[in-house]
């Protein structure tokens, strides 16, 4: 749903959910409604709770991020990960990179944390480590940094 602010996007979506529950007898927890910000998700949730007189918060009205984390938590073990993983934000990962550099006695001039974070992000987004070869001369310790980071 793409339209200007205050034009009724949230209203259309929440009304649709209410219709599905009341007229089509679809359980509210079988309906997925996702949006970008926590604020918008909270608003959708509150309006649905109010319209349907729910005594609980519908768990599948949420943000893209929270939905993804929830699915990963349910499926983590199928991917060989533990379900109690934590999501690192930018600050967390920078701190970790700095710790790794310190532990390996590498100076942050030749190994710029921001640059390294960038490379790691590229690897993880593309599921491809070949970008490491590109830095074989300028940052020969990068593969080891990546390994320790993981």
Ligand X SMILES: Nc1ncnc2c1ncn2[C@@H]1O[C@H](COP(=O)(O)OP(=O)(O)O)[C@@H](O)[C@H]1O
Q: State the residues that interact with ligand X by CB under 6 A.
A: 3, 5-11
Taking the least distance from each CB to Mg ion, the nearer of 10 and 148 is: 10
SS3 content of the chain, % helix, strand, coil (to 5): 60, 5, 35
Binding site for Mg ion (CB under 5 A): 10
Please tell me the distance from the alpha carbon of residue 142 to that of residue 135, in angstroms, as a whole number. Answer: 7
Q: Which does 7 bind (CB under 5 to 8 A by kind): ligand X, Mg ion, none?
A: ligand X
- Tokens 């100076």 label which residue? 107
CB of 44 to ligand X, least distance (A): 9
Dist CA 94 CA 113 (whole Å) = 6
Q: Are 101 and 108 in contact (CB under 8 A)?
A: yes
Q: Which is nearer to ligand X, 10 or 122 (CB)?
A: 10
101 with 113: CB under 8 angstroms? yes
Binding-site partner at residue 127 among ligand X, Mg ion, none, CB < 5 to 8 Å by type: none
Q: Is 1 or 71 the residue whose CB approaches Mg ion more closely?
A: 1
Closest Cα to residue 116, out of 85, 71, 73, 148?
Answer: 148
Write the DSSP symbol of residue 97.
H
We find the least distance from the C-beta atom of residue 30 to Mg ion, in angstroms, to be: 23
CB of 3 to ligand X, least distance (A): 6
Question: Which residue is closest to ligand X by CB?
Answer: 8
Residue (6 or 27) nearer to ligand X, CB: 6
């Amino acid at each position: 749903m793409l339209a200007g602010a205050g034009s009724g996007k949230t209203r259309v979506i929440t009304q649709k959910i209410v219709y599905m529950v009341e007229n089509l007898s679809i359980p509210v927890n079988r309906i997925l409604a996702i949006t970008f910000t926590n604020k918008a998700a909270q608003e959708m949730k509150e309006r649905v709770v109010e319209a349907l007189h729910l005594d609980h918060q519908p768990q599948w009205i949420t943000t893209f991020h929270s939905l993804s984390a929830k699915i990963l938590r349910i499926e983590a073990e199928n991917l060989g990960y533990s379900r109690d993983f934590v999501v690192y934000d930018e600050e967390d990962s920078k701190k970790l990179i700095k710790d790794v550099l310190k532990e390996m006695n590498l100076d942050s001039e030749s190994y710029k944390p921001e640059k390294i974070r960038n490379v790691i992000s590229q690897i993880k987004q593309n599921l491809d480590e070949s970008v490491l070869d590109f830095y074989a001369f300028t940052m020969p310790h990068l593969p080891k940094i990546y390994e320790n980071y993981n």
